[in-house]
Amino acid sequence: MDWGNIFGNAVGEIISPTTAAYALAAIGLGVHFGYTGLLNFGQAAFLLIGAYAFAIPTLAGAPIIVAVLSAIICSVIFAFILGIPTLRLRADYLAIVTIASAEVVRYIVTTTGLTDFTGAANGLSGFKGTFAAINPIPQGTYGFGPFTYNEYDWWVRIVGWALVILASVLVFLLMRSPWGRVVKGIREDEDAVRSLGKNVYSYKMQALVIGGVMGSVAGIVFILPRAVQPANYTTGLTFFIWTIMLLGGAATIFGPIVGSMIFWVVLSLTQGILYGAIESGALTFISTTQAGQIRFILVGVALMLLVIFRPQGIFGNKKELSFSV
């Protein structure tokens, strides 16, 4: 087994744009669930909307600023559509409705009737031009060891992680503001906050919009190194983001970031070790495809153990986040 390569790949995951995108989506989900207590199981829909609302205008020739604005506006609209019927409902209803809406959105972009806009099951590609055009880094390969990338890869990483830091600072400032205290109050005891004369519904909606916009920006970061594939936006994506958020700690600033790093490093390590063991003949009874599936079995088991034994995550404070329902 080539341990150097396995560890190199795993270490590379720490700053990969995918890790950044998941961290960003988990920060958004943290605003929903960690701080406000909203059970949003449709975060994948926000990523999907961000991705398509960015890619479709770009392919139609719009400049990058318009494409990004379109992604943000679409996710705000979607948050309203999602929130109006559901935010008055009990938590578990919200979970079912958000997961259902996420699937509805995915069915819509996959339908063959909209192939001209969404590319149906094939998705979209070829939208990186406008983003690459504003890249200030001159052409070439930079970096050292496992962190050696070309100028586009560095540009995606820098922008992705800058957005993650921006979102974290925003959440930090929001949550120590009066707004944040109200929102956390809603998580702890909705009726108490309502009795203080606060419009709980409106605060929940604002939290849904803020987290959703972060999700849609995560969707843009997620597609920059790859193509838009509707198959990426299944409920599995939402559950991974949940695992990441709960791993680090839902109501923490660094939790989603570290959670995402740990998640992807561990996935990369297990994949590397399993593939290496299979290729070197140490593991003979499974195929490389099955090795990929073992990782998902482990994700499922990890999610269960995490929620049962350490629901507050690695950084979380047990008093800060106890499941109230």
Partner 1 sequence: MIAGIRIGPGVRLVTMILTALALCLGVVLGSGALTANAATTPVPTPAPTQSGDFTNTYTITGILRDGDTLVTGAEITVEGGGFSEVATTDDTGRWSVVVPEKGEYTVTLDVDTLPEGVALRDADKSTATVAADEWQVNTITRSFPLGADTRQTTGFFEQFLQRLAAGLNFGLLIALAAIGITLIFGTTGLNNFAHGEMVTFGAIVAWVFAVLLGLNIFVAMVIALVLGGVFGYLNDWLLWRPLRRKGVKLVQAMIVSIGLAIAVRYLYLFNIGGDTKTMSVGLSDVVVLGPVRITTGSIISMVISIVALLLVGLFLTRTRIGKATRAVSDNPSLAAASGIDVDRIIRIVWVLAGALAALAGVMLALYRQVSWDMGFQVLLLMFAAVTLGGLGSAYGALVGSIVVGLFVELSTLFIPADLKYAAALVVLIVVLLVRPQGILGRKERIG
Per the listing, tokens 């969404």 go with: 118
From the list 5-13, 22-30, 100-108, 211-219, the region that binds partner 1 by CB under 8 A is: 100-108
What's the rounded Cα separation, in Å, for the pair 259 and 70? 29
Least distance (Å) between residue 7 CB and partner 1: 25
Q: Where do runs of H (alpha helix) occur along 60-150? A: 64-86, 91-110, 115-118, 129-133
Least distance (Å) between residue 314 CB and partner 1: 16
Least distance (Å) between residue 4 CB and partner 1: 29
Which one of 4, 90, 173, 199 is in contact with partner 1 (CB under 8 A)? 90
Least distance (Å) between residue 25 CB and partner 1: 17
Cβ neighbours, 10 Å, residue 64:
18
The answer to whether residues 32 and 93 touch, using CB atoms and an 8 Å cutoff, is: no
Which one of 65, 288, 296, 318 is in contact with partner 1 (CB under 8 A)? 296
Least distance (Å) between residue 254 CB and partner 1: 21
108, with CB counted inside 10 A (0-12, 13-18, 19+), is middle
- Angle formed by the axes of helices 17-29 and 151-175, nearest 10°: 20
The answer to whether residues 70 and 54 touch, using CB atoms and an 8 Å cutoff, is: yes
301 binds partner 1 (CB under 8 A): yes
CA–CA distance from 2 to each of 264, 272, 283, 288 (Å)? Answer: 19, 9, 15, 16
115 binds partner 1 (CB under 8 A): no
288 binds partner 1 (CB under 8 A): no
231 binds partner 1 (CB under 8 A): no
305 binds partner 1 (CB under 8 A): yes
What's the rounded Cα separation, in Å, for the pair 54 and 56? 6
72 binds partner 1 (CB under 8 A): no
CA 118, distance to chain mean position in Å, is 21
29 binds partner 1 (CB under 8 A): no
290 binds partner 1 (CB under 8 A): yes
Question: How many residues make contact with partner 1 (CB under 8 A)?
Answer: 55
Residues that bind partner 1 (CB under 8 A): 39, 84-86, 88-93, 95-97, 99-101, 103-104, 107-108, 110-113, 235-236, 239, 242-243, 246, 285-286, 289-290, 293-294, 296-309, 311, 322-325
